[in-house]
Structures are given as structure tokens and as C-alpha cells.
Chains A and B, each alone.
Chain A
């Protein structure tokens, strides 16, 4: 019997993700990939995969899969209940599934996105060098549906037996380091304006994290000015005319027409990927 997982239930959204397809922005193709990269890498290490193997990014849990062959799985991200055929199995540890056994991921109490890695990785057909689903461009394997059968690659390594991997905390308030620019001069005292508390809204998705708060004000000279389309990268904080910033995440458009006031440093992005609506965020500019 060929190695595969069968999807039984998906929860709100479950996507195949690896480390993405950077390097194609000049063709209009976003980088995509797991939003919480360290979590996917860890899950892969726990099951003996190369860190870049494709796994499943599960939004708010509710994912159930059945193993069609003996395999090792691991669930990472926020702490979450994991069960095998209804028996508790724990997150952040390697778990063996015999053929026919079902793995279920509960709803995490904190954070948003759990990662399921399987020994051998999800062997969907790569597009532009990646198996990631890009929700903006609709490139990559479609969102998982009950009944879908996901082929698995051949197991490549020995599962990591570490038994004390702690789930990262998801604090209710995040301080996010940013580098000002390239268009911070469009705004009066950008550092000060950004440093107030912002609230993550439920409009957020893999394209961008949207926050609510006191609208950012442009300088009088830049009021109403148009910006010719220019390149954007993951972490860019773009400010549309309503003054409410959008932090671009992995499925961001590759060019945009609104000024970017600052850029979130890459190491702060995984926490933003886990920030639930209602989370307070403070952008802290540094020199």
C-alpha cells in the first residue's frame, strides 16, 4: 500500500505548506510558505524530515487525518490537544501512527496555526519549486477538503526523540521590532505614531495582518499624494489611505501602491503569524 494520509476533517482552513517559493517576486509571484517557519521546521525535525519538507498548516485546529501506512507525525505551533484514535498523544512530540489510525488536532487555546509534519513529508506536486498553497495567487495544492488523499514521500531520516520540546508562548501583547522606512518620511514622527497599542483585527489572513488603532497621519505635504507601484517584501507595513496599517505576511502581493512606513524584522514574524484577533501589538522602531 502506498504511503498516504487521508483527510477526514479540516477545521476552518488547512493548507499544505513548506518554506515557500522566494525569488519569483519579479514575475508577480509571492514567496508564500509556512507563516510560523520555526514551528514547521521543528515539526519536521521531530519526524526525521529535512526542515523544508511540506506539512499541513492548520488554522485553529479541527484537523483529522487517517494514516494509510505506518508513519511518524508531530504537531507544533501553540500547545494543542492531539489525539490518536481518540486517545491523548500530546503536541511537540513524535507520535507513531499505524496504518488505519486517525490523528486529530484540537482547537488551540492560544495562537492560530498548528503545523503537522509526517515522516516523508506531503508529496504534492511542486509548483515553482514549492508545495506551498498561496492563497493570494491560488498557486499550489488546493485547500484541504474531507476525502482528499495526500501522498507521502519516502521517510528520509530517524525521528528526533526529544521529549521536552516546549511550545512557544503566545502573549496577549506583542512588542514588534521594526525598521523605519522606506516611506516613513510620508508620516509625521513615524516612530511615535507607530508605538501606540494596535489591535489585531479578524480581517487578518495569510496575505496580511490588519490592525486597528489611531489612524496614521501623513504629513501635510504628502496628503492625498499617489505613490507609483513599488516592490514590497514580507514584513512590510503598508499604510492605505484610511491610515490603518497592514503587515504583509507570506502571501503578500509583490508590488503595492501605498507607502510602506516600516518593515517588521524577520525574527518577529512567527509571533505575528500566531497573533489572534484582539491581540495588542506595539511596533517598536529601532535605529
Chain B
């Protein structure tokens, strides 16, 4: 793990793997350090930003370096099930690319348990890891200018759900009526880093 300077008040912790990143993120969050403003997980990194002039960054570093990163994350992850209609425009393309049937794509996608590794792109958009190998496919060559809200999609090692309509290049498997982000709700984002997620086929 490497600590990279990120401006005067923040550091980027570069990890060997997504798993190590998740452990570092969980350790920092569990420490509950009051002077940290943001803890932002990425695919291989954790960005830690502290209140200017505080000792939060140094405390976070001491905490991470003494933490058992191979152990549990401290605390049970939340379990979330998302109901999906597998009628996505790219379902057949995904099946062809994987050399299996569309029904097998659905079976693989619903059979796995995913973990929210990090968010980004838009409020409530979680990058979920745990995608079965045959479904790890590249983004579309030409991104769509508009992907409907609730679209369930895959790209690379991730699956995710578009919280609102936006441009996007992920391959669309289906859609859900679940509300991914509501800024006025007590928990604004349905999916937060560390959460466990399963997809359930409906209809």
C-alpha cells in the first residue's frame, strides 16, 4: 500500500487489490475519526480528506497501518435485494459475447452476491463487484446518449444500476423500479460502499 499526497489536506491510499481497498476503507470508517471530511473509495484507492489544519490525516494513517486488514470489516454488511426485469436491450449481445443463452445470463447475474466497492458517476451509482467471469465484458463501443433510470447494467468487473437517466456505455441487462437515490430520504443512497447486494428476477 502506498500513501500519495493529495493536496495539503488529503491523501490517496493506493492498494494492491479491490479487497485491500475495501479493508482500508472499512478500517478508516470504523475508526470514526472526527476530523475526516471525506473517505472516498475507488477501484484501487481510498481518498482520505481531513479538515484543514487538523491532525486527522496522520491519525488515519496510524490507524490504517496498525489495523488488521485481513480480518473482518467490523460490523455486519447491509444486505439489499434488488428486483429486476431482465428485458435489457443488450441481453442478447451479452449472451452472444459470453457464448451462452440469455436465460443463463440471468441465472449468472442473479446467482451471485455482490459488494458495493465504491460509488461515483452520479449520486447513488454504486460499482458492484462479484460479477461472474462470463459477464465481465467491455463497455459498448458507442455509449448511449440516454440510458433510462433504473437500468441494470454491466461493464468490466462491475455491475450497477443507473440512478437516473443519463448517457452511458454499460451493457444493459434489465431494469428495476427500486429508488437508488433520494436526497430527502434518511438514507439518501440505497447502495453505500460495503453493502452486499443480490439481484432477484421478477416478471
Contact = CB atoms under 8 A, between A and B. Distances in A.
Interface of A: 22-29, 125, 127-128, 137, 139, 179-183, 228-233, 235-236, 253-256, 260, 263-266
6 contacts: A139-B123, A179-B5, A181-B6, A230-B45, A263-B6, A263-B7
Contacts of B122: 28, 137
Nearest to A232: B47
Contact of A25 (B9, B12, B38): B38
Contacts of B40: 25-26, 231-232, 254-255
Contact of B6 (A25, A26, A29, A182): A182
A231 B47 CA distance: 5
B169 to A, nearest CB: 12
Contacts of A255: 40, 42, 118-121
Contacts of A180: 5
Given A22-B37, A28-B125, A231 B12 contact: yes
Contacts of B143: none
Given A26-B41, A27-B189, 14 more contacts: A24-B123, A25-B38, A26-B39, A127-B184, A179-B8, A181-B6, A228-B42, A230-B42, A231-B45, A235-B7, A236-B7, A255-B119, A255-B120, A266-B9
Interface in B22-71: 37-47, 49, 52
Interface string B172-202: 0000000001011000110011000000000
B123 A182 contact: no
Given A26-B119, A229-B127, A265 B12 contact: no
A22 B38 CA distance: 7
Contacts of B12: 182, 230-231
A139 B183 contact: yes
A256 B43 CA distance: 10
B10 interface: yes
A157 to B, nearest CB: 25
A183 B123 CA distance: 25
Contacts of A25: 38, 40, 47
